Amino acid sequence: MVDFSEPEIFTLLAQAGIPVAVSRLAADADEAARAAAALGTPPGTPLVLKAGGLEHKTDDGGVVLGLSGPGEVRAAAADLLSRLGARARPLIVQRQHEGHEMLAGLRREPGVGAVVVVGTGGIHTEVVADAVDALVPLDRAAAEDLVRRHPLHRLLAGHRGSPALDVPALAGLLVALSELAERRPDIGELDLNPVLMGRLGEGVIAVDARMATVDAPPARPARAGPGGPARLDPLLRPRHVAVVGVSDDPAKTGARIYRYLTEKGFTGRVDAVHPAGGEIGGRPRYRSLAEVPGAPDLVSIAVPAKAVPGVAREAAALGVGAAIVHSSGFAETGADGERLQREVAAIFHDAGIPLAGPNSMGVVVPETGMAASLSGALEAGELAAGGVALISGSGALGSCVASRLMEQGVGLSRWVHLGNEADLDVAAYLEWLAHDPKTEVVGMLLENVTDGDRLIRAGRELAARGKPLFAFNMVRSQGARAATRSHTGALVGSHRLRAAVLDAASATRVPTLRVLQDALILAASGGLPRGNRLLAVAASGGACTIIADGAEAGGIALPPFPDGVRERVAGVLPDFVAPVNPLDMSAQIIGRPEVLGEVLEHALDDSRYDAALVQLTTNADPGAELTAKVVVAVRQRISIPLYVARFGAESLAPAGMATYAAAGIPVLDAPDRTMDALVAVVRAAGKLREGSWSSH
């Protein structure tokens, strides 16, 4: 990283159209006096002298304000040099400007790209810590939105008699920073602190700056390769799998993977490889990959880390289609492991073989029984095939979500654990899934972004093809950063940046794993609503309040019944039930299930709603079964999604729950959990509409 002097930075900023304070450099007190005179400011204009060699000038007493002319500048310079010595050089002389102090800057985040930042500036930066950020490129509208997201925006715009500051000028400065970031990819960090904001129409000006450049990051191996996403076909649609490391110990990883592949009924060919040779499970076990007849589509490698390079070379010589390295002991263990990982990745890259992992739990394709994974979730019964693809940065948590989805009858198209992403990253899988006819919905547990631009493009391609992407953004805390909080870099959180990438990728971010699971269940079984208008019918007034609160917080509309519908609904309800949305039917749902059917038929007999929700409580069989049959019948007749939730114990209504299951209707539970999931699917539907517009 190379640091630049403030005048050098100011020259660059001025060329980029960013207003900066005119500066003059000096090496001693006499030069400082001459520099003050050279500024040509009108008599009486205050001047400022700064110790340019200091990083934290104010903290170290390196800023002198209110100097009235060359003489006072000479005296102040002599004092600075006396107190600070060589650390004060070069001395910087400027005209003193006034205004509200803000911070602005940019930083490059590995894997994500350039980010523009704005926050409170001056000496209060690290105390207030209110910076907000946005990904580059930033147009005028995005810059204005970024300023509006700042917690003090209302004060900047003028509040209770205070003058409005020049927010438009600040937005213009942020746009200029974004354009500079695109022109100069070598700028690693640029910190303008403070930027002084004048009143509306007076503009903004940067009076202090720090910049450092970085070497261009080493080019990562090309991931798409010839054939684009189809390059991943041998990994995600294999017909021949070889497992290397299949020992006689059934507890070892290789033996488990081989067992899963055979037990789950993989429709293709499976070969086992181990130096012991012989047979396993009545099938031949080859001593090396070289002995395996033909070239496998996929090689599943489960040997000690130090043995992986040798296996990788055998795979390259054989011309396999793809590889999964399940073995751990690579970059996750430190520097030695990282070197070993680079070696393995280079072998596969040079051979044109896509690599999943290392340290990957594996890949599962339920439709074909292809279970090249060591996940304990595979100890369950048959794999459920369907339209949900699951991509996870966490093997264990991804297994939890996958097992719960399949347990509830939601089938998977692909289930991938990313591992260390030495080659294939999440974007590569999303690109492939966008073109996969079996995948309708994608869920993602995201820990890391290695190529933000590519992820954004892949996510938008999914949206353009009508496939919602739900993402749980993990890893919120990044720990201490090397830079101090007064620098732009210290104010940029990777979790926020990943969120920005996901937003740009048309993904729907969810707050918890539970919401991720529920949203995938609803999207896979009931489909997405066409808009945000919801009809809610509940068996509890309390549930109705929770539904109303969740709708308001999540941007879901609860339109009232039109006059004619309200009259028809009121006609089948007791006088004490108010025909409003959400509708509290109370015990009517339990005692008279047919009334629920009539209400739904009347209310949904127009285009006023985009989705419906029936929220049940503790109904029991046989009434619960009758209610379920009514709901199933209505759902089969209407064209919009009808979602069902029930908070009572399942043991009270086994027949009712079985009725829903037989009809392929998932049942959520508590109304707050249900609304969280509904908010997610409504937002996802909006993302798809935006994606379809942007694709034309």
Q: What is the pLDDT of residues 553-576, one digit of tens each?
A: 999 999 999 888 889 888 888 888
Distance CA 296, CA 301 (A): 12
Q: What is the pLDDT, as a whole number, of residue 672? A: 96
Distance CA 636, CA 639 (A): 8
Handedness of CA 551, 508, 462, 506 (dihedral sign): positive
Q: What is the mean pLDDT of residues 662-688?
A: 95
Q: Which two tokens stand for residue 51?
A: 């110790």
Distance CA 177, CA 194 (A): 15
Residues in the chain: 696
Checking phi first, is residue 425 left (phi over 0); if not, alpha (psi -120 to 50) or beta?
Answer: beta
With contact defined as beta carbons under 8 Å apart, do 92 and 50 qualify? yes
Q: What is the mean pLDDT of residues 625-643?
A: 94
Q: What is the pLDDT confidence band of residue 590, given thresholds at 50, 70 and 90?
A: confident
Q: Which two tokens stand for residue 222?
A: 């090309």
> What is the distance, to the nearest Å, from the Cα of residue 167 to the centroid of all Cα atoms in its chain?
29
Kindly give, in sequence order, each residue whose CB lies less than 8 Å from that of residue 571, ignoring residues fewer than 6 positions away.
Answer: none
Buried b (16+ CB within 10 A) or exposed e, 53-79: bbeebeeeebbbeebebbebbbbbbee
Kindly give, in sequence order, each residue whose CB lies less than 8 Å from that of residue 262, ignoring residues fewer than 6 positions away.
Answer: 270, 281
At position 227, the amino acid (one-letter code) is G
Percentage of the chain lying above the pLDDT 90 cut = 71
What pLDDT, in 10s, does the model give residues 249-302?
999 999 999 999 999 999 999 999 999 999 998 999 999 999 999 999 999 999
3-class DSSP state of 691: helix
Helices (H), 465-616: 494-504, 513-525, 541-554, 563-572, 588-591, 593-603
Q: Is the pLDDT of residue 128 over 90?
A: no
With contact defined as beta carbons under 8 Å apart, do 385 and 411 qualify? yes
Strand boundaries in 124-257, DSSP class E:
132-135, 187-197, 204-206, 209-213, 240-244
User: Backbone phi, then psi, for 572, in 5-degree steps?
Assistant: -105, 0
Q: Is the pLDDT of residue 419 over 50?
A: yes
With contact defined as beta carbons under 8 Å apart, do 544 and 584 qualify? yes
Q: Which of 240, 268, 277, 272 is nearest to 259 (CA)?
A: 272
Q: Which two tokens stand for residue 445?
A: 């547990």
pTM, two decimal places? 0.84
Handedness of CA 242, 247, 248, 250 (dihedral sign): negative
Q: What is the pLDDT, as a whole number, of residue 606? A: 65
Q: What is the mean pLDDT of residues 346-350?
A: 97
Q: Is the pLDDT of residue 218 over 80?
A: no
Q: What is the pLDDT, as a whole number, of residue 572? A: 86
What pLDDT, in 10s, does the model give residues 355-369?
999 999 999 999 999
Q: Is the pLDDT of residue 491 over 50?
A: no
Q: Which of 291, 398, 308 is nearest to 355 (CA)?
A: 308
Q: What is the pLDDT confidence band of residue 428, given thresholds at 50, 70 and 90?
A: very high
Q: What DSSP designation does 378 have?
A: G
Kindly give, in sequence order, each residue whose CB lies less than 8 Å from that of residue 270, ignoring residues fewer than 6 positions away.
Answer: 241, 242, 243, 258, 261, 262, 283
Q: Which two tokens stand for residue 42?
A: 């009108």
Distance CA 14, CA 513 (A): 48
Q: What is the pLDDT, as a whole number, of residue 487? A: 33
Q: What is the pLDDT, as a whole number, of residue 237? A: 97
With contact defined as beta carbons under 8 Å apart, do 590 and 539 qualify? yes
What pLDDT, in 10s, does the model give residues 88-97?
899 999 999 9
- Is the bond into 358 cis (omega within 30 degrees of 0)? yes
CA dihedral 408, 409, 410, 411 (to 10 degrees): 140
User: What is the pLDDT of the chain when averaged over all its residues?
Assistant: 90
User: Tokens 């992820």 — which residue?
Assistant: 455
Q: Is the pLDDT of residue 217 over 80?
A: no
Q: Is the pLDDT of residue 77 over 50?
A: yes
Distance CA 470, CA 407 (A): 20
With contact defined as beta carbons under 8 Å apart, do 94 and 207 qualify? yes
Q: What is the pLDDT confidence band of residue 592, given thresholds at 50, 70 and 90?
A: confident
Q: What is the pLDDT, as a whole number, of residue 270? A: 97
User: Backbone phi, then psi, for 21, in 5-degree steps?
Assistant: -75, 135
Q: What is the pLDDT, as a whole number, of residue 113? A: 84
Q: What is the mean pLDDT of residues 177-203?
A: 94
Look at 6-10, 390-394, 422-426 and tell me which has the smallest mean pLDDT. 6-10
Distance CA 185, CA 176 (A): 14
3-class DSSP state of 476: coil
Q: What is the largest CA-CA distance in the chain?
A: 99
Q: What DSSP designation does 539 have?
A: S
Q: What is the pLDDT, as a whole number, of residue 605? A: 73
Look at 44-53, 529-538, 543-552 and tell me which has the smallest mean pLDDT. 44-53
Q: Is the pLDDT of residue 376 over 60?
A: yes
Residue of 131 and 463 predicted with greater confidence = 463
Q: What is the pLDDT, as a whole number, of residue 227? A: 55
With contact defined as beta carbons under 8 Å apart, do 363 and 373 qualify? yes
Distance CA 413, CA 485 (A): 45
- The full DSSP string for 15-82 is HTT--B--EEEESSHHHHHHHHHHT-PPTT--EEEEETT-SSTTTTT-EEEEE-SHHHHHHHHHHHHH
What structural domains and CATH numbers belong to the chain? 22-95 (3.30.1490.20), 100-213 (3.30.470.20), 228-523 (3.40.50.261), 527-694 (3.40.50.261)
At position 453, the amino acid (one-letter code) is D
Q: Is the pLDDT of residue 196 over 90?
A: yes
Q: What is the pLDDT, as a whole number, of residue 225? A: 45
With contact defined as beta carbons under 8 Å apart, do 97 and 66 qualify? no
- The full DSSP string for 355-423 is EE-SS--EEEEGGGTEEEE--GGGGSSSPPEEEEEEEES-HHHHHHHHHHHHHTT--EEEEEE-TT-SS
Q: What is the pLDDT, as a whole number, of residue 691? A: 65
Q: What DSSP designation does 360 have?
A: -
With contact defined as beta carbons under 8 Å apart, do 97 and 21 qualify? yes
Q: What is the pLDDT confidence band of residue 226, given thresholds at 50, 70 and 90?
A: very low
Handedness of CA 493, 495, 500, 504 (dihedral sign): positive
Q: What is the pLDDT, as a whole number, of residue 126? A: 63
Percentage of the chain lying above the pLDDT 70 cut = 93
Burial of 42 (C-beta count, 10 Å sphere; 0-12/13-18/19+): exposed
Q: Is the pLDDT of residue 693 over 70?
A: no
3-class DSSP state of 129: coil
Q: Which two tokens stand for residue 525?
A: 């079984």
With contact defined as beta carbons under 8 Å apart, do 536 and 557 qualify? no
Kindly give, in sequence order, each residue whose CB lies less than 8 Å from that of residue 644, ignoring residues fewer than 6 positions away.
Answer: 613, 614, 616, 631, 660, 665, 666, 667, 668
CA distances from 590 to 149, 325, 587, 626 (A): 47, 55, 5, 9
> What is the distance, to the nearest Å, from the Cα of residue 138 to the centroid of all Cα atoms in its chain?
19
